Structure 1
Amino acid sequence: MKKFILFFLLISESLLAQTSNELFSSANNLYKEGKYEEAISLYNQILEKGEVSSEVYYNIGNSYYKLNKVAPTIYNYEKALKLDPANQDAHNNLVFAKRLTLDRIEALPKTLLQKINENYLQKLSYNTWGMLAVLASLIACLLFLGYYFSSIPSQKKLYFTTSIISFLLLFIFLAIGYNQYSKAQNTVEAIIFSEEAIVNTEPTQNANEAFILHEGTKVNVLDQVDDWKKIKLADGKIGWILSEKLKEL
């Protein structure tokens, strides 16, 4: 009986994967035919099945871009990049999509380390840095074993030096991965979905207006009080906005 249940579960998983592949293929065909809303519907069915991937979000973003819907376009490109920071197509298309937004926000100047982190280190996810750390640890162990069992002085010196370098790389990869993981856990980003959203100085309707944002603008969410969320822009401005006006990534 247990074997039958296991066989049934394996067959069900296989059919689910096949169905998702068929949906993805059908959605791609609809996109090519210019039926973008129908394509989006099928892509969303894939997400509802739990088959989350950077490619699906990227294709949804492309579909919304064709429909000239700014906020959903940027949202889905950002989701694609969160799953795969190395998705260069999503990055390039996001640049074009941001040109459709009305808000022009100048980011605060970054330090050299922040620029290195943003332009290079963040291109890899914390999972990838973790895998690099594991790989470095394996190489370091093998090199140390080579040092331990080698009887030739020149080889022992080479094994020892390279094993030390590998251990140093291990700790560097771990530090970068932990930093990326902490940032991912502590940073909540969102996209403004309202065509025009008033940001107040306090989390109340009768508070003074701080500034106005438009759809597609990316913000950081700092806090929440009832139906209000405290947000921060890239230029450092802070205010409160109704939760319904934005969608968290």
Structure 2
Amino acid sequence: MVNRFITIITTGIFFFFSTYPVQGQNRSTGTLFSHNQKIKEEVDRATLFMEANKYYKEEKYKEAALLYERLIQSGVSNGQIYYNLGNSYFKMGLLGKAILSYRLAELYLPRDEDLKANLRYARQLTKDKVESKQFIPFLKGFFFWHSKFNLKELMIVFLIVHSIFWTLAIIRIFWRKEYHNLIFLINLALVVVLGFSLAIKLYNYIYNIDGVVLAKEITVRSGNGFNNTALFQLHDGAEFTIIEQGKDWIKIELSDGKRGWVEGRWVGKCQLHSWPPPANE
């Protein structure tokens, strides 16, 4: 439990100080060469992005997808790229990869209505009607910001409210008014609620990893090997929660409670640093 708490805290610090929308860019060393090199890389990436968009408009979806993949592999990672990549995969008939890309885009763009609509439509086309686990309806209504903000946005809001809390605490020492206590208590409640919501989001990001089937069909077995009993089949685009990871096999759980083991090579993880996903069978 202590190790998990430390992991959650360090991950939160990493996300706050990292450039969340864009990953993997080298920081300038202060030299003219490194500054020019960084500008060149950014221009190249922008050109690549525009070229990928051009291919997509020309209905050359395979070429567009390859360029979006190159951008991600080069270190650029944001919601728009994953969204466009998901659309390209969808047009290519790669339903699993489309859903995976949309799920990754959601980590950046939780309020994007077009993204939500495309993800809903893609899920309707899956053979296995297994709904992904959703935030508890009551809590979703009460903690509305939990699903509306991405991880970094929620962290920034929490730090702002937390700063205000300590500012009010200092003010109360030197200047006391009757209404100060009410304001202080309201702010304290916000700090607690936002902190709880942030802790849940960080915990889910680190430990509750979802997966998506990327093959036409895979067999779910009772153990991590081909000699174990075949329990049932899952098809392209089916979603589940990963509860244990081995070298070549992954233990999964569906939203209806069914569990089993599948080959890891046919699973795409809804985790930002797990790219590229396996190839379709």
**TM-score w.r.t. structure 1 length?**
0.87
Contact 1:107 1:234 in 2 (8 A): yes
User: Which residue does 1:179 correspond to in 2?
Assistant: 200
- Deviation of 1:30 after TM superposition, in Å, equals 1.5
* Residue identity matched to 2:89: Y
Which of the pair has the greater relative contact order for Cα pairs under 8 Å at 6+ separation?
2
Contact 2:130 2:255 in 1 (8 A): yes
Which one of 51, 72, 76 corresponds to residue 47 of structure 1? 72
User: Which residue does 2:215 correspond to in 1?
Assistant: 194
1:214 aligned to 2:235? yes
Which one of 191, 195, 209 corresponds to residue 170 of structure 1? 191
* Residue identity matched to 2:257: G
Alpha-carbon distance change, 109 to 80 in structure 1, aligned in 2, over 3 angstroms? closer
For the aligned residue pairs, the C-alpha RMSD in angstroms reads 2.6
Q: Using the alignment, how far apart are the partners of 1:104 and 1:50 within structure 2?
A: 34
User: Which residue does 1:122 correspond to in 2?
Assistant: 147
* Residue identity matched to 1:243: G
Contact 1:129 1:174 in 2 (8 A): no
Q: Using the alignment, how far apart are the partners of 1:158 and 1:108 within structure 2?
A: 43
- Deviation of 1:47 after TM superposition, in Å, equals 1.1
- The one-character-per-residue Cα deviations of 1:81-128 (angstroms, maximum 9, x if unpaired) are 123323332222100111111001267898554554897523323322
Larger Rg computed on CA atoms: 1
* Residue identity matched to 2:162: S
Alpha-carbon distance change, 169 to 38 in structure 1, aligned in 2, over 3 angstroms? same
1:205 aligned to 2:236? no
User: Which residue does 2:125 correspond to in 1?
Assistant: 100
- Deviation of 1:160 after TM superposition, in Å, equals 3.1
User: Which residue does 2:276 correspond to in 1?
Assistant: none
Give unpaired runs (5+ residues) of structure 1.
none
- Deviation of 1:34 after TM superposition, in Å, equals 1.1
Deviates more, 1:26-35 or 1:4-13: 4-13
Deviates more, 1:222-231 or 1:62-71: 222-231
Which one of 70, 74, 90 corresponds to residue 65 of structure 1? 90
SS in 2 for 1:202: coil
Give unpaired runs (5+ residues) of structure 2.
1-28, 271-281
SS in 2 for 1:197: strand
Q: Using the alignment, how far apart are the partners of 1:108 and 1:147 within structure 2?
A: 44
Which one of 241, 245, 267 corresponds to residue 224 of structure 1? 245
* Residue identity matched to 1:35: K
Deviates more, 1:118-127 or 1:89-98: 118-127
Alpha-carbon distance change, 110 to 33 in structure 1, aligned in 2, over 3 angstroms? closer
- The one-character-per-residue Cα deviations of 1:135-162 (angstroms, maximum 9, x if unpaired) are 11233344445555557xxxx2233321
